Amino acid sequence: MMARMQEIDAERMLATMENRDIPALIRFGDELNPKASQVYKAMPDRLIETKNSAAVTVWKIPVETGLTVEDVEISMKNVANEHNIKNVGELPLSEQV
């Protein structure tokens, strides 16, 4: 995703955000990921529903019966690793920067 972000004109994106040009922001979402606009469009509704900004960025997905918490954690870490997502709480990021 980071490589994709670098392809997008960051200055133009920031200007669009400052001007609150919602249609343009949605187009940027479409440039980032085909499903991004669906996610971004749902966020205001989730914020109104939960009144919790952190909950807006959390997705809950049911898992198969019989899986342990450890099974799910390992699976999530493997998927994150495949997408080069770093776990800030477990890595010495200051050494990587």
pLDDT digits (tens, 9 = 90+) for 34-68: 777 677 778 888 888 888 888 888 878 899 999 99
Residue 5: band (very low, low, confident or very high) from pLDDT cuts 50, 70, 90: very low
Residue 1: band (very low, low, confident or very high) from pLDDT cuts 50, 70, 90: very low
Between 25 and 5, where is the model more confident?
A: 25
* CB-count exposure of residue 19 (10 Å: 0-12, 13-18, 19+): exposed
Q: Where are the alpha helices (DSSP H) in the chain?
A: 2-7, 10-18, 22-32, 36-50, 53-56, 69-82, 93-96
Distance separating alpha carbons of residues 17 and 24, to the nearest angstrom: 9
24-38 pLDDT per residue, tens: 766 665 666 677 767
